[in-house]
Amino acid sequence: MCRGAYPLARLPLFSALYWRADRALVLRWLAIAVRRQRPLAEMVRLLAGYFPQARLRRHLERAAQRIEDGEHWCESLGQVGLVRRSETALFQAAERAGNLTWALEEMADSSVRRATYRMRAALNVLFPAAVLVFGGCVFFIALGLMLPLFSLIQVLT
């Protein structure tokens, strides 16, 4: 196992972004399983055993158990929080239409796109805030250096 594969994923702000990226990776692997005509229960169980993130492994393990208990794979992934309700409906419709691989790949791409948009929005807010904080630090250091010089100049004049 790769312990600590994503050190940023442990931080509160980044954990949601990595969660979306990891979900997208799971959807891509499920698309590969469908394309190769492998059972989804087998693929979910395999991912539960080897995925690097412990939190996602636990969710996949619960989903695999539900699938083995006879629940539909879409419902079980939805119950453990790996797919949203709208995605569950989309996957069921795509499965009936015969284009499940396409739907899984599109939802994976969409999830990565949304994570990227959210990260950009966070950076657009955090970057100016960081510039202001560092600018304030520089201001106080410069002020600390200059105040004794100003008082010395006033005393000498």
CA distance 98 to 16: 32
Does residue 1 surpass a pLDDT of 50?
no
Is the Cβ–Cβ distance between 89 and 75 less than 8 Å?
no
Query: The tokens of 90 are what?
Result: 């989309």
Does residue 108 surpass a pLDDT of 90?
yes
What's the pLDDT score for residue 11? 64
Long-range residue pairs from 80-87, CB within 8 A, at least 24 positions apart, any chain: 82/23, 82/26, 82/56, 83/23, 83/27, 83/107
Q: In percent, how much of the chain has pLDDT > 70?
A: 89
What's the pLDDT score for residue 28? 93
Residue 3: strand, helix, or coil:
coil
Query: The tokens of 153 are what?
Result: 């100049």
CA distances from 66 to 29, 69, 88, 139 (A): 19, 5, 15, 59
What's the pLDDT score for residue 3? 46
DSSP-assigned letter for residue 81: T
Q: Which of 32, 31, 26 is nearest to 44 (CA)?
A: 26
